[in-house]
C-alpha cells in the first residue's frame, strides 16, 4: 500500500492526489491517504487554517488512514524485509519526499518488496508525475455545479467574452519571493494580447484573489475588468478561472496552476 500525506491548501491537495494516482499506475500498488495534518494544525502558528477539500469539492473518497498511521509504520523497521520478506513484514520508507517543483523519476523505482507499506510526504508539483493519466485526473477533478447566482452570471460573461483570468495570491505570499507586483501582471496581459487571437477582440480581465479588496485598491489595468468579489467557495473561483480563454497565474501558486491546467481551450495561453 502506498500511503500519501494530504496537506496544505486545495492546489497542493490536488497535486498530492494526482501523484498518488500516478504512483499507483506505475507501481501497481493501491494507495490510501493520511489526513492527520488537518487535525494537527495550530491556529496560533499558521497564517491560514486548511481544510480537506478533495471530497467536498470533487467527491473523491480514497481510503483514509487514521492519525496513527505514521506511528504504526514507524514501529516496523524499514530493514525488516531483509530478514523477513517471506513473512511479508511491512515497512515504511520514511523520507520518500519531494519539496521542490522538479520531477524525480526515481520515485517510480521500487525499493521495498511488493506489498510493502510505503509512506510519501511532499508536494509533488510536477505534471510528469501524472501526465500519462491526464484524462483520468481531469475526470477526477470534475467540479460540482456552481453554488450561487453570482457565479453562474460570471460564467456566462466569461464564455461570451475574450476572457483572461488573472490570479493574485496574497495571504501567505505577502513579503515573500513569491509575491508578484503590478508590473508582472501588466507584462503577462501584454504577452497574451500580442500572442493570441485577442489581438482582434476586446480582452476582458476577470481578477481573482484571496485579498480582492487589496487588489481593487492597488491594481489598475487599462482594460475592462471584473473583480470577482462575491464568490463564496474557492471551488467556484478555480472553476471560473478554468473557463476563461487564457490564464495569468500567480507565481508559485498551485491553485492557479490547476485552474490553467484544467482549462480545455486548445488555443489558451498561460502565463
Query: For 130, which DSSP code?
Result: T
Asked whether the beta carbons of 234 and 246 are under 8 A apart, the reply is no
The pLDDT tens digits for 122-173 are 899 999 999 999 999 999 999 999 989 999 999 999 999 999 999 999 887 6
Q: Distance between CA 123 and CA 113 in Å, rounded?
A: 25
Q: What DSSP element (H or E) covers 164?
A: strand 162-168
Q: Taking a C-beta distance cutoff of 8 angstroms, is the pair 141, 262 a contact?
A: yes
In angstroms, the first-to-last Cα distance of the chain is 38
Domains of the chain, start order: 2-140 (no CATH), 149-261 (3.40.50.11350)
Digit-coded pLDDT (tens) for 223-269: 999 999 999 999 999 999 999 999 999 998 999 999 999 999 999 99
pLDDT one-digit tens code per residue, 57-79: 999 999 998 666 666 666 655 55
Cα–Cα–Cα angle for 175, 212, 155, nearest 5°? 135
- For residue 104, the model assigns a pLDDT of 86
Contact 229, 207 (CB under 8 A): no
Residues in the chain: 271
Mean pLDDT, rounded, for 21-48: 85
Amino acid at each position: 500500500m502506498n500511503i500519501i500525506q494530504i496537506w496544505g491548501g486545495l492546489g497542493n491537495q490536488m497535486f498530492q492526489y494526482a501523484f498518488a494516482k500516478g504512483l499507483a499506475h506505475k507501481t501497481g500498488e493501491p494507495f490510501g491517504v493520511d489526513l492527520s495534518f488537518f487535525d494537527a494544525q495550530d491556529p496560533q502558528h499558521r497564517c491560514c487554517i486548511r481544510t480537506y477539500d478533495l471530497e467536498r469539492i470533487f467527491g473523491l473518497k480514497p481510503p483514509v488512514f487514521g492519525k496513527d498511521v505514521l506511528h504504526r509504520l514507524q514501529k516496523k523497521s524499514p530493514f525488516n524485509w531483509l530478514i523477513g520478506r517471506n513473512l511479508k513484514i511491512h515497512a515504511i520508507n520514511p523520507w520518500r519526499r519531494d519539496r521542490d517543483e522538479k520531477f524525480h523519476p526515481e520515485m517510480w523505482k521500487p525499493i521495498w518488496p511488493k506489498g510493502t507499506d510505503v509512506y510519501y510526504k511532499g508536494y509533488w508539483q510536477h505534471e510528469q508525475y501524472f501526465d500519462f493519466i491526464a484524462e483520468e485526473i481531469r475526470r477526477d477533478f470534475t467540479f460540482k455545479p456552481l453554488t450561487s447566482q453570482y457565479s453562474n452570471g460570471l460564467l456566462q460573461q466569461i464564455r461570451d467574452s475574450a476572457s483572461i483570468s488573472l490570479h493574485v495570491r496574497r495571504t501567505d505570499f505577502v513579503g515573500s519571493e513569491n509575491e508578484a507586483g503590478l508590473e508582472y501582471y501588466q507584462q503577462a496581459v501584454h504577452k497574451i494580447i500580442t500572442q493570441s487571437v485577442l489581438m482582434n477582440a476586446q480582452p476582458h480581465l476577470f481578477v481573482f484573489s484571496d485579498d480582492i479588496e487589496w487588489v481593487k485598491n492597488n491594481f489598475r489595468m487599462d482594460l475592462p475588468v471584473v473583480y470577482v468579489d462575491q464568490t463564496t467557495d474557492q471551488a467556484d473561483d478555480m472553476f471560473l478561472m478554468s473557463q476563461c480563454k487564457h490564464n495569468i497565474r500567480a507565481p508559485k501558486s498551485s491553485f492557479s496552476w490547476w485552474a490553467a491546467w484544467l482549462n480545455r481551450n486548445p488555443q489558451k495561453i498561460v502565463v
